[in-house]
């Protein structure tokens, strides 16, 4: 049996590799072909192209690469029509994969899309496009299948892989020992994002908040994990404006910083889910460019009541969200101070986070593998 997969970035490569291993556990003779990264190759996939070919960020960069991407997609579809895989699994990368899925579906090749686009947050109309393009959607969050049921699209909740990777009740001690931080010190992690664009918008107000908090509570320590050397250099240049601030910049140590912290100030996104799974209180910040924010409001593109994943999962405001003009040093510091001064509130949050962790922890790779193999048997 041949299964084809396409993953377009590092997170998709991780999902794909885990899915390959889980399917092989159930069906050892399966052959995998398509586009993947080093992890999918290591899991035994025959990668016709590397996933780096699809990892392009930024509007103008994408425009420059459109002819090459269209050519690659055309070659991929032609090869798949020759191979006729038992199923095609497009892993995230919806702008690329949904088009491939639509062409294969038209030729009666079963297609599955793994990782639902955020139709629950913005551009809900994309559900109709997904319905035309794919046979089934594998969802990481339990509330997502409901959005597809309204369009009669098969959708399955398969759990989130991060919930399997991060053990419940991550202790603070080991991370502090590794970073040489005393057990009694108050420590706060600042996570301004993983892309330079969001880091540029959030680093300054987060450091402003750190400066305010350092005055309110002398001796407080701050950790800032940087996703790359470029981001580290940017953060360190910003730190020059805060002499005396006890702030340490780390490279590629976000989970370690979260685990060592009493509390986290972070950008909206996957980081909020990681903080929830590690079980730390947080203040979540989100800033768009003024033009994008105005356009999104005008076109009413944003549908979700919340933007922090823990709040979306719980359908309630478990953690404070600061949006656009609310993202100031003083306001962030006020929300942090409330957490530090309300231990009963922190205890209640810890229990809710534990419950949400259990809800997401259902062996995502194995669950997804069962759905894929079930879908193939149904098609046959």
The pTM of the full predicted model, rounded to 2 decimals, is 0.84
Number of structural domains (the chain) is 2
Looking at the fold, whether 185 and 196 belong to one and the same domain comes out as yes
Looking at the fold, whether 273 and 372 belong to one and the same domain comes out as no
Looking at the fold, whether 210 and 122 belong to one and the same domain comes out as no
Looking at the fold, whether 227 and 355 belong to one and the same domain comes out as yes
Looking at the fold, whether 330 and 199 belong to one and the same domain comes out as yes
Looking at the fold, whether 254 and 113 belong to one and the same domain comes out as no
CB 113 within 8 A of CB 136: yes
Residue 167 within a domain: no
Residue 231 within a domain: yes
Q: Which of 100, 126, 145, 78 is nearest to 5 (CA)?
A: 100
Residue 165 within a domain: no
Residue 164 within a domain: no
Residue 147 within a domain: yes
Residue 19 within a domain: yes
Summarised one tens digit per residue, pLDDT across range 11-45 is: 889 999 999 999 999 999 999 999 999 999 999 99
Q: What does the pLDDT profile of the chain (380 residues) look like in tens digits?
A: 999 999 987 788 999 999 999 999 999 999 999 999 999 999 999 999 998 887 644 344 455 667 777 889 999 999 999 999 999 999 988 889 999 999 999 999 999 999 998 876 566 677 888 999 999 999 999 999 988 888 888 999 999 999 999 988 888 999 999 999 998 999 999 999 988 888 999 999 999 999 999 999 999 999 999 988 999 999 999 999 999 999 999 987 899 999 999 999 999 988 999 999 999 999 999 987 666 655 556 555 555 678 899 999 999 999 999 998 999 999 999 999 999 999 999 999 999 999 999 999 999 999 999 999 999 986 55
Residue 344 within a domain: yes
Which pLDDT score is estimated for 379? Answer: 58
- From CA 33, how far away is CA 45, in angstroms rounded? 6
Q: Report the CATH number that the domain containing residue 331 is assigned in CATH.
A: 3.40.50.2000
Looking at the fold, whether 193 and 101 belong to one and the same domain comes out as no
Looking at the fold, whether 80 and 196 belong to one and the same domain comes out as no
Residue 76 within a domain: yes
Looking at the fold, whether 111 and 10 belong to one and the same domain comes out as yes
- From CA 28, how far away is CA 327, in angstroms rounded? 51
Looking at the fold, whether 116 and 20 belong to one and the same domain comes out as yes
* Structural domain for 197, as ranges: 173-360
- Return the residue matching tokens 């203040």: 283
Looking at the fold, whether 218 and 142 belong to one and the same domain comes out as no
Looking at the fold, whether 255 and 116 belong to one and the same domain comes out as no
């Amino acid at each position: 049996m041949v299964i084809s997969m396409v993953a377009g970035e590092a997170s998709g490569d991780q999902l794909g590799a885990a899915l390959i291993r889980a399917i092989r556990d159930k069906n050892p003779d399966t052959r995998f072909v398509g586009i993947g990264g080093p992890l999918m190759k290591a899991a035994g996939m025959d990668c016709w192209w590397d996933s780096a070919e699809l990892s392009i960020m930024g509007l103008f960069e994408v425009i420059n690469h459109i002819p090459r991407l269209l050519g690659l997609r055309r070659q991929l579809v032609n090869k798949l029509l020759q191979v006729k895989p038992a199923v095609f699994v497009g892993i995230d990368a919806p702008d690329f994969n949904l088009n491939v899925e639509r062409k294969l579906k038209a030729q009666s090749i079963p297609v599955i899309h793994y990782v639902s686009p955020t139709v629950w947050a913005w551009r809900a109309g994309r559900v109709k496009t997904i319905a035309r393009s794919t046979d089934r959607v594998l969802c990481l969050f339990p509330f997502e299948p409901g959005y597809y049921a309204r369009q009669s699209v098969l959708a399955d909740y398969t759990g989130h892989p991060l919930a399997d990777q991060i053990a419940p009740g991550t202790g603070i001690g080991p991370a502090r020992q590794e970073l040489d931080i005393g057990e009694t010190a108050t420590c706060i992690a600042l996570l301004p994002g993983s892309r330079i664009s969001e880091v540029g918008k959030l680093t300054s107000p987060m450091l402003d908040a750190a400066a305010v908090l350092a005055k309110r509570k002398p001796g407080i320590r701050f950790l800032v994990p940087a996703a790359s050397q470029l981001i580290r250099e940017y953060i360190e240049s910003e730190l020059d404006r805060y002499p005396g601030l006890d702030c340490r910049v780390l490279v590629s140590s976000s989970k370690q910083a979260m685990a060592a912290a009493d509390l986290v100030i972070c950008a909206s996104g996957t980081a909020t889910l990681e903080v929830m799974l590690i079980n730390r209180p947080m203040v979540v910040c989100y800033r768009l460019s003024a033009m994008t924010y105005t356009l999104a409001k005008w076109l009413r593109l944003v549908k979700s009541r919340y933007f922090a994943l823990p709040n979306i999962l719980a359908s309630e405001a478990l953690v404070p969200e600061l949006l656009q003009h609310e993202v100031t040093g003083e306001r962030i510091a006020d929300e942090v101070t409330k957490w530090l001064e309300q231990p009963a509130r922190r205890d209640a949050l810890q229990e809710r986070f534990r419950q949400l962790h259990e809800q997401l922890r259902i062996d995502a790779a194995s669950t997804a593998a069962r759905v894929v193999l079930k879908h193939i048997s149904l098609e046959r």
